[in-house]
A and B are shown apart, each in its own frame.
Chain A
Amino acid sequence: QQPVQSPQAVILREGEDAVINCSSSKALYSVHWYRQKHGEAPVFLMILLKGGEQKGHEKISASFNEKKQQSSLYLTASQLSYSGTYFCGTDSGAGSYQLTFGKGTKLSVIP
């Protein structure tokens, strides 16, 4: 089953913060985050492998709550370049061959 992402879309002004959530009805082993700009391929952001793990990538960070089967992506002090659609991909076992992606969250950053 696809993980559920929320919100479906969000509009921010430059400098504002946003949180994108990804939740699953199945136990998760890892969560992968990707960003896709319009007309381009998805690009890897980060993987979270352990329950409670947090990671940072520039002003983009994420957390993974294994018990709650959910992950959150945090974008702080947003920039115009952050615009795009963010996808979470989940797998349910170590050594899993495939990811199941959510439907995506469209983020628009305006001046």
Chain B
Amino acid sequence: NAGVTQTPKFRVLKTGQSMTLLCAQDMNHEYMYWYRQDPGMGLRLIHYSVGEGTTAKGEVPDGYNVSRLKKQNFLLGLESAAPSQTSVYFCASKKGVQSEAKNIQYFGAGTRLSVL
């Protein structure tokens, strides 16, 4: 079972370039999340989706856009990358909210992004 797969694993961008991070899950989960992790800051929520075709802003959404055209995929876009967006990005998904088991978030392996 693949679980949550993130591509790419590493990327280096120049300031002003754009890119898209892909998150794919094969668990038929409804909810998907994008986090960024910076040293000493923990995991901060960028955007999330509660189902196909829906997106919502999290704690730190500025400079990012997302799309969820298919249930299994959640894309994170950077239109004009800035050095402040250098970070490790994690995608996560969960089944739902109705029970403990459904409420567990499963994380991808992360994408390490450097913006020069």
Instruction: State the A residues within 8 Å of B (CB).
Output: 2, 30, 32, 40-44, 47, 49, 87, 89, 94-104
Contact = CB atoms under 8 A, between A and B. Distances in A.
Chain A, interface SS category: loop
B50 interface: yes
B108 A2 contact: no
Interface stretch (B11-19, B37-45, B62-70, B78-86): B37-45
B44 A101 contact: yes
A103 B41 contact: yes
Interface string B33-61: 10100001111110010100000101100
Interface residues of B, number: 26
A103 to B, nearest CB: 4
A22 to B, nearest CB: 11
Given A42-B90, A101-B43, A103-B42, 13 more contacts: A30-B103, A32-B105, A40-B109, A43-B107, A44-B104, A44-B105, A89-B43, A97-B56, A98-B33, A98-B45, A99-B45, A103-B40, A104-B42
